[in-house]
Amino acid sequence: MTTATSRTQTSVSSAPPSGREKRKIIVGVGVGNALEWYDWAAYSIFAPYFARQFFRSDDPLTDLLGTLAIFAAGFFMRPLGGVFFGWFADRRGRRPAMTFAMLLTAAGSLLIGISPTYGSIGATAAVFLLLGRLLQGFGHGGEVVSSFTYVTEMAPANRRGAWSSTVFVFVTIGVMSATALGAGLTSTVGASGVEEWAWRIPFVIGGVLGVYALYLRRHLDETPMFRAKAEAAERAAAVPGRAARQGGWANVWKYRRACLRIFALSAGGTVLYYVWAVMAPTFAIGALGMDPGPVMWVGVAANIFFILCLMAWGRISDRYGRKLNWYVFSIGSMIAIIPLSLILSGGEGEIWRLAVYMGVGMLLISAPTAIMPAFFPEQFPTHIRAVAMGLPFSVAGAVTGGTAPYLQAWLYSSGQPWLFEIYLIVLCFLVLVATVVSPETNGKDLSDDSVEEADLSGVSLAERPAA
């Protein structure tokens, strides 16, 4: 009996990357993720301002709900993007999948930025908004599966948690940039100016920045694991009577238990990430009537704190294991959800309440967020890693994350916010159950032989016999 970390490694990776190569990989992956989530966050942050540009009713809240419904529609494109780009990444490579996905998201952002309004073409304006969101959602689903897989396969085995955390460090930089831009615009041109025309600025910027991200990603190398798999497939194809192993749905089905666990883990993590890290400023402005300027700056400060927490949790997972992060999140969130909601909605728009709400929330949600890009791909072998990880992650995001903003706003407006809190607690309980039955993957060798048939049924790597 021996542990995965002590046995002879069969990894296809060569020597650990140099400092310069490490920076190129992390920045190349990170800038694309920052752009993707900048676009995503810009929509949620500026939705209260441009809702009246695309919808016209007698009730501003109804217009906002219509805009958030289109926000949810983008989520439902994520599974399609996850499946397509997962398939693409497993067959054509992680790097081209990342590049293509990023371009689609940038195109969707630019389309929203130049869309005609209700005042110009009537109700048809909402169609342009919808098309932009669908492009963003499809590209976003592809970005997640390809970038998670890429950074996991490029990282040293004993540093995957730390490398993984950099993905969401850049994601947070993107979210924070959108939040800071919102704060700056509302402070300079005022809420009326943002509503009239300045809401377009963040979306146009997102489209233009896609060109820079394209340049960075075109200079990245393909992962050694994918290159080895492709070379093995070519050798197998050259031998008569020997078929290359393919990443079909039958192979994904063998790992169905791992897929179900990822769905449960993703559902709780995604919803609370949007509630605490992304949608909190929008909810504070639209539903609680807080002053937009201070709210935006609280959002910026909370995201800076989130970055520090991400880096700490990534390193903790490399030292103490991945499951500790999930336990802290699930148990801590079940305890904190109701008190935090009471603090946020218990006063007359006092800004400190939002600061406490986001600060505690960021501390908790950063624990699983830091390691998702490593923990999820670690469940699968190379030939199906992207698509098998991406499918449950994207579906969970669509079913739960995409509906969360609308559900939160609707239940609050109908006087039943406690139902949303119960919903969050149930999701966290499912995360706890999934954590209990999940294996510990810290330090795991990701070569196909070490992953094959594990289906990671809850038996720790330390308890498995050596191959």
DSSP for 427-464, written as a single string: HHHHHHHHHHHSPP-TT---SHHHHTTTTT-S--GGGS
Note every long-range contact of 435-439, with CB atoms under 8 Å and residues 24 or more positions apart, other chains counting: 435/265, 435/323, 435/326, 435/327, 435/330, 437/261, 438/261, 438/265, 438/323, 438/326
* Cβ atoms 3, 321 nearer than 8 A: no
Q: Calculate what percentage of the chain has a pLDDT beyond 90.
A: 24
Amino acid at 425: I
CA gap 95, 226 in Å, rounded: 10
Direct distance between the N- and C-terminal alpha carbons of the chain, in angstroms, rounded to an integer: 10
Rounded to an integer, the average pLDDT of 221-250 is: 67
With 60 as the cut, is the pLDDT of residue 172 above it?
A: yes
245 within a domain of the structure (yes/no): no
310 within a domain of the structure (yes/no): yes
Most confident among 9-18, 21-30, 340-349, 362-371 (mean pLDDT): 362-371
Shortest CA distance to 98 belongs to which of 19, 25, 22?
25
235 within a domain of the structure (yes/no): no
* Cβ atoms 203, 45 nearer than 8 A: no
CA gap 383, 251 in Å, rounded: 9
From 61-70, 148-157, 208-217, 421-430, the region with the lowest mean pLDDT: 61-70
Largest CA distance in the chain: 75
With 70 as the cut, is the pLDDT of residue 35 above it?
A: yes
Number of residues assigned to the chain: 467
| Residue at token pair 């407006």 | 413
pLDDT band at 194 (very low <50, low <70, confident <90, very high): confident
Pick left, alpha or beta for residue 220 (phi over 0 → left; psi -120 to 50 → alpha; otherwise beta).
Answer: beta
The angle at the Cα of 37, spanning 36 to 40, to the nearest 5 degrees, equals 95
119 within a domain of the structure (yes/no): yes
369 within a domain of the structure (yes/no): yes
| CB count in 10 Å sphere of residue 39 | 33
* Cβ atoms 321, 440 nearer than 8 A: yes
Residue of higher predicted confidence among 389 and 465: 389
CA gap 28, 33 in Å, rounded: 9
CA gap 279, 414 in Å, rounded: 19
With 90 as the cut, is the pLDDT of residue 364 above it?
A: yes
With 50 as the cut, is the pLDDT of residue 340 above it?
A: yes
339 within a domain of the structure (yes/no): yes
- Give residue 248's pLDDT: 65
Amino acid at 346: G
CATH of the domain at 196: 1.20.1250.20
Q: What is the pLDDT of residues 305-328, one digit of tens each?
A: 999 999 999 999 999 999 999 999
pLDDT band at 453 (very low <50, low <70, confident <90, very high): very low
11 within a domain of the structure (yes/no): no
282 within a domain of the structure (yes/no): yes
Q: What is the pLDDT of residues 242-254, one digit of tens each?
A: 444 555 677 788 8
Most confident among 59-68, 136-145, 165-174 (mean pLDDT): 165-174
- Give residue 412's pLDDT: 77
CA gap 137, 179 in Å, rounded: 20
- Give residue 456's pLDDT: 41
Query: What DSSP state is assigned to residue 156?
Result: -
Q: What is the pLDDT of residues 382-418, one digit of tens each?
A: 888 888 888 898 888 778 876 777 787 788 778 888 8
Alpha helices in 274-416 (DSSP H): 280-286, 292-320, 323-345, 351-369, 372-375, 385-396, 404-413
Domain count of the fold of the chain = 1
Amino acid at 235: R
Rounded to an integer, the average pLDDT of 329-338 is: 96
With 60 as the cut, is the pLDDT of residue 459 above it?
A: no
Integer CA distances (angstroms), 412 to 345, 361, 400, in order = 10, 19, 17
Range of the domain at 337: 19-223+252-456
pLDDT band at 224 (very low <50, low <70, confident <90, very high): confident
pLDDT band at 57 (very low <50, low <70, confident <90, very high): low
Residue of higher predicted confidence among 216 and 419: 419
pLDDT band at 261 (very low <50, low <70, confident <90, very high): very high
With 70 as the cut, is the pLDDT of residue 61 above it?
A: no
Q: Calculate what percentage of the chain has a pLDDT beyond 70.
A: 85
CA gap 434, 241 in Å, rounded: 41
